[in-house]
Structure 1
Amino acid sequence: MLKKEYDFIVVGGGSAGCVLVARLTENAHFNVLLIEAGSDDKNVAAVHVPAGAVAMVPTRYKNWAFNTTEQKQLNNRRGYQPRGKVLGGSSAINAMIYTRGHQQDYDDWKDLGWGWEEVLPYFIKSENNLAIKGELHGNQGPLFVSNSRSNHPIANAFIKAGELLGHKVNQDFNGTEQEGIGRYQVTQINGRRCSAAKAYLTPEVRQRGNLTILTDSRVTKLLLDNKQCTGVEVISNHQLLTVMASKEVILSAGAFISPQILLLSGIGDKQDIVPFGIEHHHQLAGVGENLEDHLDFITSYKANTHKIFGLSVKGIGFFTKEIIKYLFKRKGILTSNFAETGAFFKTDPNLSRPDVQLHFVVAVVEDHARKIRSSLIHGFSNHTCVLRPKSKGTVKLASNDPMTDPVIDPNFLSDEADIQTMLKGVRLSNEIMQQNPLKQYTNASLDNEYHLSDEELIEKIRAKADTIYHPVGTCKMGMDDMTVVDTKLCVHGIHGLRVVDASVFPNLMGGIPMHPR
């Protein structure tokens, strides 16, 4: 039964929210309410079977399925922003790749108290790595990390192709060195997804008497008494309810919804709030600013085998056998995270760390798998993303209706440096795709990009590129005028309110982790 007051109210049951409530409720004296806009994560086929992500990412099933504004540098196309609308958040619908980012990425935040030496113990504490031991890894935490059980031969051919070009094989992208080509580890256990909900909202945690989980419920605004956050308004079961917090409200609704809730509550830049008829309570110019995201460009190839993702008569027979293999052995292509192998490269050898990442996918992916051709063709694709883009965007209100999606403008490729880095990265990617270990598996390129001039390839990038799902920065951490939270993640000038999710990242890192801290 929902109480009128809790010590802590956590808004958003994604990667950060699941960790928060698990840790807070370890203290039996704290009563904690977790409010999640989406549903529980009980669907085995879609959520827990790794290949089930294909049913969620392109659809609105357990997915916010946001759209962006028209992107000027992407031929005025609207982008697509899938985000998990389910306990576990985007960790319940993502590709399960376990990468923390480069160590130097955290040392960029050292002055804020979030350097590599400060965060590493929390990574180790959270991790239960079933394949790798050592001083940089944990083997007793709640988040299971393992090697892929799919081990698809075409994914392995990608590594061999890179080796032929002199790229070194990296056995551990979370080890002492990130650069190289290799297999990704995945957040799985026994061939099943280990989302943040699976890791932290265990049956034991859910049964704690001091935890209440409210799903399918939407926070409409924060309640403020002068400069004190006292609770939330929430729509649950078609009723508008008021719930108070005696200690803190913690926003962990993600880089799009957390700033939206702040703005709806009158916290942010006055010019972003008052025009919508919302009373302005607290000036914070940085709310919804500083949006950064990884832009992704895909090259696709038709395979000469049906033993890969795709739809055909032979493929149906193959997948029938794979379903049986999964049910009895928890192995095979249904355990695939699609992006089984990849690479971190420097587009300039003088760089101190890789600036592009590749994801080799054992499927054809077009428009986030929303085009029919993607499912019909047996094939594979390679994704290139710029790890530290200079382009910055915004998240703003569309109206004062909390049920209306926010206005998301990533402002992709607004900085010329990003298009040049992407161009170099795609050239590196295409070189690998032309090597014999991969060419033996393909009938044809679907894109024909290898022989394009730089100008022609840039036009292809503008025509096809879109997010690879890592928005950050809209409630930036720091102490300057455009930051939203301090180094303890408390909202500047508002007592009893924190933001604890990827929106607080000051900038993107080279690989996005789950929140360990």
Structure 2
Amino acid sequence: MNTETDKTYDYVIVGAGTAGCLLANRLSRDKGTTVALVEAGGNDNYHWIHIPVGYLYCINNPRTDWMYRTQADAGLNGRSLIYPRGRVIGGSSSINGMIYMRGQAADYDAWAAGDGYGPNPGWRWDEVLPFFKEHEAYHGGADALHNDRGEWQVSRQRLSWEILDAFREAAVQAGLPRKDDFNRGDNEGVGYFEVNQKKGFRFSAARAFLKPILARDNLSLFIHAPVQRLNFEGRRCTGLTVLREDGVTVTFCANKEVILCAGAVNTPVLLERSGVGQGARVSALGVPVVHDLPGVGENLQDHLQVRMAFKVQGVKTLNTLASTWIGKARIGLEYLLTRTGPMSMAPSQLGAFARSSERHARANVQYHVQPLTLEAFGQPLHSFDAFTASVCNLRPTSRGSIHAASSDPDAAPLITPNYLATDEDRQVAAESIRLTRRIASQPALARYQPEEFKPGMQFVSDADLATAAGAIGTTIFHPVGTCKMGPAADPMAVCDAQGRVHGMGGLRVVDASLMPTITSGNTNSPTLMMAEKIAREIHGR
């Protein structure tokens, strides 16, 4: 195997995804600091990345997706799910649903309060809000909660649907308030999502933070460069080894830090393959134990969406609008001429946050409502008009794990979400189906004669509804928590409140794996906020 002379930088960032793109931007602002950004995937030059509806062609496509799968899951009646992760610069922000969502103020207050082992200082809502605003370019202008001069484009969607408008009115009739802005700390209500788009095109982290700065002399981007292992001197991380696509191995040395931004799936796997993790598990990989850190890969949390589907009459949905070549041609022409219509669609257009029952003090479920239905992702649309009302438990109590399957860098990880493993999660699933039925029965939808065909009205009892949720539930692609932050007294904490790996030197984690608990909504923009905040802490200003 050929080798190349070591490359030395102040900071070596692993992963040019959501967090990595922003960190590279912020750290390389200092002209006296050298930064290497190392990405296992490739460039984002596939046209479907940039057309919003193109997520249909990017997920489960080896050009843009690592195409992981979960282990068979008992909570899903033994099913295995696809588990998409972005395989290009921009990471999952290049293939995700583009929804701009911060979560709830109480999420971050809970991070700061911590659990019985102690707090995570600096993460209260009022402390993280400035870092959401720092990079935000909000369509509605600046105010106390928004900024309009950042790089991260937040736009209104460029479409509306009669059936979605009716669902919104039905949700109001069922007791939800109207909501024009889900990002002010309390997101309970119903309205159209705001999206990370600009003039009808996807706005990924690569487009926002990386491409504008690639000419900086002190920043070097390496693509198609999968990391084989982290390198250590004692318990200090000194760099990493990469295998280029031409078969040449390169060692990257870090004068200051190696920063892992490989995401909630790949960050814990890389740590374990490098000797950092639960000792017995690392040893079983045939890897020498550098540091026994049992929390690595544990604490996986994800949002499981229960995809309820309803046939409708007397209203057009995408199922029939896109069923003919003429219809598809009209959709394409509209996008070509105006950048509007179905091709500008985020995967979900209408959103709602609700309490699945009165026992919840704040909104605990989220809806993603779509003017279409299909059997499963990647399959054709149904031939009849219908809509999907997906509902997910925002704060699941089930916990799973992600671990390295072997020391082989090319081996897919072992992803075990452990969905619906607790009585509480099964109860919320049952409550969610009942709430959706209540919304669907409101007068605003009555004229369209909604007929539930997934899961079906034959499921009535709590036990039957939980089983039905397991049959139709699927990930909404929000894995977090596998290298959670927490005080050193917490035996399962991997990092401190600034992302520094406990017991190690020169090694930090900055991605969604750092979240101690999942946020109450989509997780992409909270990950950007975390990178913004920790970048400021690294600079010390």
Q: Which amino acid aligns with 1:53?
A: Y
Q: Which amino acid aligns with 1:73?
A: G
SS across alignment from 2:226:
strand
- Do 1:449 and 1:457's aligned partners in 2 also have CA atoms closer than 8 Å? no
Over 3 Å counting, the alpha-carbon distance change for 1:430 and 1:9 in structure 2 is: same
- Does 2:57 correspond to 1:48? no
SS across alignment from 1:429:
helix
**Which of 82, 85, 88 is matched with 1:86 structurally?**
88
**Which of 159, 166, 187 is matched with 2:168 structurally?**
159
Over 3 Å counting, the alpha-carbon distance change for 1:62 and 1:181 in structure 2 is: same
Over 3 Å counting, the alpha-carbon distance change for 1:311 and 1:402 in structure 2 is: farther
- Does 2:12 correspond to 1:9? yes
Q: Which residue of 1 aligns with 2:504?
A: 494
Percent identity reads: 36
2:60 and 2:436 map into 1 onto residues whose CA distance is: 25
**Which of 189, 197, 209 is matched with 1:188 structurally?**
197
Q: Which residue of 2 aligns with 1:31?
A: 34
Q: Which residue of 2 aligns with 1:257?
A: 266
- Does 2:436 correspond to 1:429? yes
Q: Which residue of 2 aligns with 1:390?
A: 397
- Range moving further from structure 2, 440-449 or 262-271: 440-449
Q: Which residue of 2 aligns with 1:71?
A: 73
**Which of 412, 418, 428 is matched with 2:425 structurally?**
418
- Does 2:231 correspond to 1:229? no
| Distance apart, 1:214 and its partner CA | 1.1
Post-superposition CA distance 1:367-409 (Å, at most 9, x none): 3x1334x365553201010011111011112111011011111
**Which of 94, 102, 116 is matched with 2:125 structurally?**
116
Q: Which residue of 1 aligns with 2:362?
A: 353
Q: Which amino acid aligns with 1:496?
A: G
- Does 2:515 correspond to 1:505? yes
- Range moving further from structure 2, 97-106 or 435-444: 435-444
Q: Which residue of 2 aligns with 1:333?
A: 342
TM-score, normalized by length of structure 1? 0.95
Over 3 Å counting, the alpha-carbon distance change for 1:324 and 1:59 in structure 2 is: same
- Do 2:402 and 2:413's aligned partners in 1 also have CA atoms closer than 8 Å? yes
Q: Which runs of 5+ in 2 are unaligned?
A: 113-118, 533-541
1:307 and 1:209 map into 2 onto residues whose CA distance is: 53
After the TM superposition, which residues 316-331 of structure 1 pair with which residues of structure 2 at under 5 Å, given as runs?
316-331=325-340
- Range moving further from structure 2, 109-118 or 410-419: 109-118
Post-superposition CA distance 1:238-295 (Å, at most 9, x none): 3222121111110000011000000000011111111121111111111111111111
Post-superposition CA distance 1:404-427 (Å, at most 9, x none): 011111111111100101111121
Q: Which residue of 1 aligns with 2:468?
A: 460
Over 3 Å counting, the alpha-carbon distance change for 1:313 and 1:346 in structure 2 is: closer
Over 3 Å counting, the alpha-carbon distance change for 1:109 and 1:245 in structure 2 is: same
Post-superposition CA distance 1:443-493 (Å, at most 9, x none): 754325245212332221121212111111110101111111111111111
Over 3 Å counting, the alpha-carbon distance change for 1:273 and 1:450 in structure 2 is: same
Paired residues, what number? 513
2:267 and 2:105 map into 1 onto residues whose CA distance is: 27
| Distance apart, 1:32 and its partner CA | 1.0
1:37 and 1:302 map into 2 onto residues whose CA distance is: 43
Give the superposed CA RMSD. Answer: 2.0
Over 3 Å counting, the alpha-carbon distance change for 1:185 and 1:312 in structure 2 is: closer
| Distance apart, 1:21 and its partner CA | 0.3
Q: Which amino acid aligns with 1:129?
A: Y
Q: Which residue of 2 aligns with 1:407?
A: 414
Post-superposition CA distance 1:115-151 (Å, at most 9, x none): 1111000101111011354211111110000110022
Over 3 Å counting, the alpha-carbon distance change for 1:234 and 1:376 in structure 2 is: farther
Q: Which residue of 1 aligns with 2:220?
A: 212
- Do 2:322 and 2:328's aligned partners in 1 also have CA atoms closer than 8 Å? no
Q: Which residue of 1 aligns with 2:539?
A: none
- Does 2:378 correspond to 1:370? yes
SS across alignment from 1:217:
coil
Over 3 Å counting, the alpha-carbon distance change for 1:406 and 1:293 in structure 2 is: same
Q: Which amino acid aligns with 1:170?
A: K
| Distance apart, 1:177 and its partner CA | 2.8
1:329 and 1:312 map into 2 onto residues whose CA distance is: 18
Over 3 Å counting, the alpha-carbon distance change for 1:87 and 1:159 in structure 2 is: same
- Do 2:264 and 2:513's aligned partners in 1 also have CA atoms closer than 8 Å? yes
- Do 2:111 and 2:517's aligned partners in 1 also have CA atoms closer than 8 Å? no
- Do 1:98 and 1:184's aligned partners in 2 also have CA atoms closer than 8 Å? yes
1:303 and 1:424 map into 2 onto residues whose CA distance is: 23
Over 3 Å counting, the alpha-carbon distance change for 1:175 and 1:312 in structure 2 is: closer
SS across alignment from 2:217:
coil
- Do 1:152 and 1:333's aligned partners in 2 also have CA atoms closer than 8 Å? no
- Do 1:102 and 1:353's aligned partners in 2 also have CA atoms closer than 8 Å? no
Q: Which runs of 5+ in 1 are unaligned?
A: none
- Range moving further from structure 2, 174-183 or 449-458: 449-458
